[in-house]
Structure 1
Amino acid sequence: MERLRVIQWTTGKVGKLSLRAVLDDPRLDLVGVYAWSPDKAGVDAGTLCGRPPCGVTATDDVDALVALGADTVVYTPFMADLDHVLRLLESGTDVVSTNLFFDVGGIEGETRERLEAACARGSSSLYITGVSPGWINTMVVAMTGVCRDVRKISILEAADCSVYESAETWLAMGISLTGTTPKVVETARLWMKPAYEAVQRMALALEYTLDDVEFSLDYATAAQTVDLGYMRIEKGTNAAVRVGWEGRIDGRTVIEMKFAWYLTKHLNESWEFTDDQYHVVIDGEPGVDTRMRFIPPDSWGNHEWDTMTALPAVNAVFNVKAARPGILHLADVGLPCAPAGRWLAAQR
């Protein structure tokens, strides 16, 4: 199999884990690393992610990285830099992104047009993935393959998010704030735009033409003050959120993607949460009712959970390389999977 030349773009919470995965994958050659933080420039990539030195040093020189002519960039920054992505795509480098582009309004309107034009000029591809949105949507669309009738698909996610140390994310989602003001709703709606786009991608794969996609948002409040270290949630402020989108046709919901996230279970409201991260229901013939639970090893710390965001991107790079140019959808990429046989052979 042809080896692909890969650049890792940033080495934060997710990027550190995808960088490890690139170094560990015998099908991939790491040729460059973009350093967002000045103190990381000049540091060996292995050192940045807890692997032995590999001879590739991180740099903040975008021109030098573009000039490498890599096959693929694994793009993992917290905030998107649209100019960087456009330059990479125009140069002919595929971009597989765990960044969901919410800070530039999502993949629509002028942003979509500019990205599609860059892909056309470079004959390159852009694919956005992660665990959710991303991997779970691919899995659920594939599960409909056993059905001869599908009336509704529900993806219901539940998660203890107290270990996700990103105060910026939770403030944007209204956590630790009071009530549901129009500003809170609008900010949460913007941050949940990637899930809206995921519903649209599922609809495209299933050949649905949605009439509209409706947003919903609800909060539960803290029954006691909670100090998580990285943020403090005062008693009576928002401490859990239920949020999501429903895609409808003729007034009937055909796809729903909803999330129940909590930072403490000590709530004033009687919300219940399961230990299953996903509950998937396909109302069809036959019906499908599936629960999924991730079981981490004892060695995992809080940030290791980001593995499930990083690996769908790294494992998709060959599928993306084989796909058409442009912004890719679920059907374009198929079912990326782990190179388990290669891992086994490398361990022998």
Structure 2
Amino acid sequence: MTIKVIQWATGSVGRESVDCILDHPDLELVGCWVHSAEKTGKDVGEVLGIPATGVITTNSLDEICAIDADAVMYSPLVPNPKEVSALLRSGKNVVTPVGWFYPDDEQTRRMNEACEAAGVTLHGTGMDPGAITEVFPLIMSAMSKNVTFVRGEEISDIRGYGSPDVVRDIMMFGGTPEEAVGGPMLDLLDSGYRQSLNMITDALGIKREGIRIERLLETAVATAPIESPIGTIEPGHVAGQRFYWDAYVGHAKVARVGVTWLMGEENLEPAWDFGEQGERFDIEVRGTPDTVFAVSSWHPETNHEGLDRNLGIIATAAHCVNAIPVVVEAAPGVQTSLDLPMITGRAHKDLIAAAAQP
């Protein structure tokens, strides 16, 4: 049976989610919410610059709730619990990369009430937080005994990220170090990364009461003008940032999740770089044996390619969209990556069709 899906928001992740939904053999796009009035009332294809889909956009929550659909892929820049609750109460399962990865008891209780009222499920997943900071480290921890440390980290050239307003006005690249430290990004990331640490340490069997979480924001500044998609980064202004969340038991660091974003590797103070392996996503599990590997294929070959279509954004969207069939079949309530069965992709439609021929 085809699963009817609504896409909420058409930013960088939303754009790729629409493409993933259209390509998925078990899903059908039936609705799309957009943020601006300028995008409203148009075919999704016109908004995204792809062939027409026959699905007309709206910026009305009520209209979205009234659509006959099984699920919503909810990917705004900032989550709104009231919107998510309304979507759930309208009878729609929700998958999202912007929250509810491993919520605390109170967050779970509130969303469980909405889920149970309509018999639907809420699942938070994605990339980072998500696969890199939760799923991959925990899967690989199964290959070790006596685990002492787990890490999931993104290391990327932010010049290949195609949302200049976010990079400039929310991440505060190009501003002063004081502006970056006082900006909104650390708090916007905080909930998701804390949930990642809680999921890891809970799964490893470390009591929450014995854990201390520390967060850290470090900045690097330009030592010479750096050209970027948001304009020239002037000397003394922010051209690199590191966000870390560390879990400690006593003095021992047991887990780290976070991200390093750089405007390239040149003319930085401190002299940060991507390392010998270049841009990547790092997974590290220390135990017996250790497991350490890097995923580099989710980064574009060039920043220009990343601005056109970022492979990491596609991976984020695909992880969410591929979870939809599993989430639709799951028990009502908030379901985390620890609760659901394995999420997998699906073969290309042409392969499925060819294999079905007598």
TM over 0.5: yes
Does residue 127 (structure 1) correspond to residue 123 (structure 2)? The answer is: yes
Distance in 1 of aligned mates of 2:97 and 2:282: 23
* Residue range with higher mean Cα deviation, 210-219 or 185-194: 185-194
Matches within 5 A, 1:310-321: 310-321=317-328
Give the structure 2 partner of residue 259 of structure 1.
259
Matched residue, 1:325: 332
Q: Secondary structure at the match of 1:330?
A: coil
Secondary structure of the residue aligned to 2:339 is helix
With normalisation by structure 2, the TM-score equals: 0.86
Partners of 2:171 and 2:183 within 8 A in 1: no
Shift in alpha-carbon separation, 1:202–1:231, aligned structure 2, 3 A: farther
Please name the residue that 2:201 is paired with. 203
Of 280, 284, 305, the residue aligned with 1:281 is: 284
When residues 109 and 230 of structure 1 are mapped into structure 2, their CA distance, relative to the original with a 3 A threshold, is farther
Task: Measure how far apart 1:185 and its partner are.
Answer: 5.1
Once the two structures are TM-superposed, the CA of residue 128 in structure 1 deviates from its matched residue by 1.6
Alpha-carbon distance in structure 1 between the residues aligned to 2:229 and 2:282: 30
Deviation at 1:325, TM superposition (A): 2.2
1:212 to 2:212 alignment? yes
Deviations 1:273-304 (A, max 9, x none): 13141222211111111121125478945142
User: What letter is aligned with 1:124?
Assistant: V
Relative distance call for 1:232 and 1:100 in structure 2 (3 A) is farther
For 1:59-74, what aligned pairs fall within 5 Å after superposition? 59-74=58-73
Q: Which position in structure 2 is the counterpart of 1:146? A: 143
Structure 1 gap segments, 5+ residues each: none
**Relative to 1, partners in 2 of residues 1:206 and 1:340: Cα closer, same or farther, differing over 3 Å?**
farther
Secondary structure of 2:173's counterpart equals: coil
Contact 2:151 2:284 in 1 (8 A): yes
Aligned to 1:156: 153
Report if the CA contact (8 A) 1:16-1:48 is conserved.
no
TM-score (normalizing by structure 1): 0.88
Aligned to 1:53: 52
**Shift in Å at residue 168 of structure 1?**
3.1
Give the letter for the 1:302 counterpart: L
Aligned CA distance change for structure 1 residues 19 and 188 (closer, same or farther; 3 Å): closer
Residue aligned with 1:132, SS: coil
Aligned equivalents of 1:231 and 1:99: distance in 2?
A: 28
Q: CA deviation at 1:8?
A: 0.8
Q: Does structure 2 retain, via aligned residues, the 8 Å contact 1:159–1:260?
A: yes
8 Å CA contact 2:75, 2:97 repeated in 1? yes
**Aligned-pair identity (%):** 27
Return the alpha-carbon distance in structure 2 between the equivalents of residues 108 and 186 of structure 1: 25
Q: Report if aligned partners of 2:126, 2:317 keep a CA contact under 8 Å in 1.
A: yes
